[in-house]
Structures are given as C-alpha cells and as structure tokens.
Amino acid sequence: MDFALSEELSMVRDMSRDFAENHLMPLATQHDREAKIDASVFPAMAELGLWGLTVPESYGGAGMSNLAMCLVLEEINRACASTGVTLSVHASLVCAPINKWGTEAQKQAWLPKLASGEVLGAYSLSEAVSGSDAAALVATGTRDGNDWVLNGTKLWVTTGEQAGLFVVYVRTDPTVSKAKGITAFLLPRDTPGFQVGKKEKKTGIRGSSTNELVLNNVRLGPESVLGEVGRGFNIAMDTLDGGRIGIASQAVGIGRACLEAATKYAKEREQFGQAIANFQAVQWKLADMSTHLDAARFLVHNAAWLRDTGQEVGRMASQAKLMASKTANFCADECLQIHGGAGYTDDFHVERLFRDARITEIYEGATDVQRIVIARHLLRS
C-alpha cells in the first residue's frame, strides 16, 4: 500500500494551496462580514479549472478523480469555507449526477458550461417538512401532456443566488411509498414561474448564499428529467454519498486551519513568563487536534478512493463525514480555548472558523443521519 500522492495529485494540491493562500485567505474575513463572495473569486477559480476538475475531458473538464477534488477542497476550505462549499456542491451534487445519470443531450447541454464556471450548480432536496427525513418532501411535479408542471417551495439551497442550474427533487407520484414517488429535474434559472426567494442569514459560511426556491407552475419538458421518473430519491442519496466526501474534506480543511492558528498563537502568547506552548495542557490539545485530523483525512481519502474505483461507499462516506465534522468542531473549540478571550473577538479569524465548522455537522446529512446510515450498513443482513 502506497500512501504517497502521485505527481499529478501533488501538483493539483499545490496549485489550489497557492490560490487559497494568495487569493482566498486575504478575502475570507470580508466574505464573512459582507455575506458575499468577492467578484474576483469565481472567475479566478474558472481560470484554474477548478469548477470542472472532475468533469470528463470530453465535456470540457479536467477528468480528475474525487481524491483530487478532496485535496482541492481541503486547501480551499482551509482558507475560506464559503468558497469551499460552493465548489463542493457544484462538483459533487450537480456535475457528478449529470455525468452519471444524464442523457447525452443533458451532458452536452450542461457539463461544458458547468466545467468552465459559466454556470454554477445548486442542489435542491430539502423543504420545510423534509430535512433529515428527506423522502417526506411535498413539492410536486404533475404531468401535463409530455410536460411536467412543478409547484412548491424548497429550502436551504446552497448557491441559490448565483446558480444557473438547479437539480430539483419533487414528488411526481403521490400514490406510491414516499421514497419511490420522487423525480429529479434539471431546472435552468431563467425558467418562467421559478423564483429564487429569501436568502438565509446564517451563523457561519456567511459568504455562501443559502436560499429558498419558489416553484409556481414551472413547466419543464420531458428532456429535463434526470435519470428515471420515480427514481429521484435513489439519485439524491447516491449523489449525497459523494457530497458527504466533499463536506468531510471541507471539515478537514477548517480543522487544519484551526490547528495552524492554535499552534502559531501558542508559540507567540506568553503567560506566567513563558510561551503558553510550553505548557503540557496546551501541547496535549495540539497533539489531539493533529491526531484527529490525520485520522479524519485518511477516512476521507479512503472514501474518495472507493468512489473513484466504483466500490460501495455509503458507509465509508458517512464515517468520513461523521469523523471529519466532529473533528472540525473539536479543533475549532480547542483553537478558540487556546486563544482565550482574544479568540472570542473578531480581531482573530478563529471566531469565524468556530462558526464555519458548525455547519459541517448539519448539512448534507446531520451527524445523527450519518450514524443512521452507518448503523444500517452494519445491521443489514
């Protein structure tokens, strides 16, 4: 077993680290305070090919692996988690399912635009009544001749403000059991009857947009169905297996930023006549943060490798997300504790890291949902 990164993967990691340190880090506080990502960021990511990193070369992407995307996401999220989630959702929740289930026409229509960053993608599963119980969604898709007419209100849609394409899940058959009657649709932003609604004011990842979507007699042709009619829930779940690896990478990136900030501060800050790094209580915190982070990263990379090699990944993706999101919050808490009162002010970016880490235990399946998925795999005969 060889744990070394290939030359190509090392280059991708170094390129994204360079971009993250030089372009994103100086902007991350601004993104948080102004609750929007600076206009320079997305075009710069397009120039580096990040939006299409995992899109096949035949559709204008770089055709790289999920593991490559994990390396990129760790670097980007270490600098700015708002930018990180935007990329993760675009790649894993939009490009990936179109590539996997899309018709040739859908791939031709959307993947080149998504890969170039001309169009950003969003994923819309949740509603007011369906969060963890995703199959309980009530927005509808009704047949009208060959067309479908969509109605309802969707919630918690990352990148709602900027996205040009939404993968929307609605109930198309109310007569069958709840997970079986759902269909996925590709919904372009400019479709009549479709409106991006209220923007949420969030605790963390404030630079990324999170919106309500309103579907008011939105008419779509049959060519807009992604995958089979009635198989949308399976698509949503399989897609989230990949998405959870992305969010786990985000968590590792945030956790690493916490460890780095805590180590730096511990060496600089003096109390009782010496640097607080000399105290064993502080050293143990740093040691535990580092150990948890490396364990989480191994789980994430293993899950990505399973996905890349076409193996079953549900349990490992959930284990990676569970471990990495817990670790991010552990690291953020210890980092803030090492900073003391200073860390509780906005003079230091660690208070942002503390707020940004929290969402990794909530979105793309809360911690408790990851435990459900893991336990079901263990218990199934």
Active site residues: 364
Give the shortest CB-128-to-ligand CAA separation in angstroms.
13
- Residue 133: helix, strand or coil by DSSP? coil
Question: Residue 215 and residue 251: Cα distance in Å, rounded?
Answer: 32
Phi-psi map region of 88: left, alpha, beta (phi>0 left; psi -120 to 50 alpha): alpha
Q: Which residues are at the interface with ligand CAA (CB under 6 A)?
A: 85, 89, 123, 125-126, 132-135, 158, 179-180, 233-234, 237-238, 240-241, 314, 363-365, 369, 372-373
Q: Which of 50, 85, 70, 65 is nearest to 356 (CA)?
A: 85
Nearer to ligand CAA, 17 or 100 (CB): 100
Q: C-alpha angle 306/311/316, rounded to 5°?
A: 50
What is the number of residues in the chain? 381
Which C-beta is closer to ligand CAA: that of 126 or that of 337? Answer: 126
Between 123 and 148, CB nearer to ligand CAA:
123
Closest CA to 334 of 376, 374, 281: 281
Residue 85 vs 335, nearer CB to ligand CAA: 85
Task: Give the whole-angstrom CA distance, residue 26 versus residue 71.
Answer: 20
**Residue 255 near residue 292, CB atoms below 8 Å:** yes
Q: Smallest distance from the beta carbon of 201 to ligand CAA, in angstroms?
A: 16
SS3 144: strand
* Cβ nearer to ligand CAA, comparing 229 with 237: 237
Q: Least distance in Å: CB of 233 to ligand CAA?
A: 5
Q: Tokens in use for 143? A: 């047949």
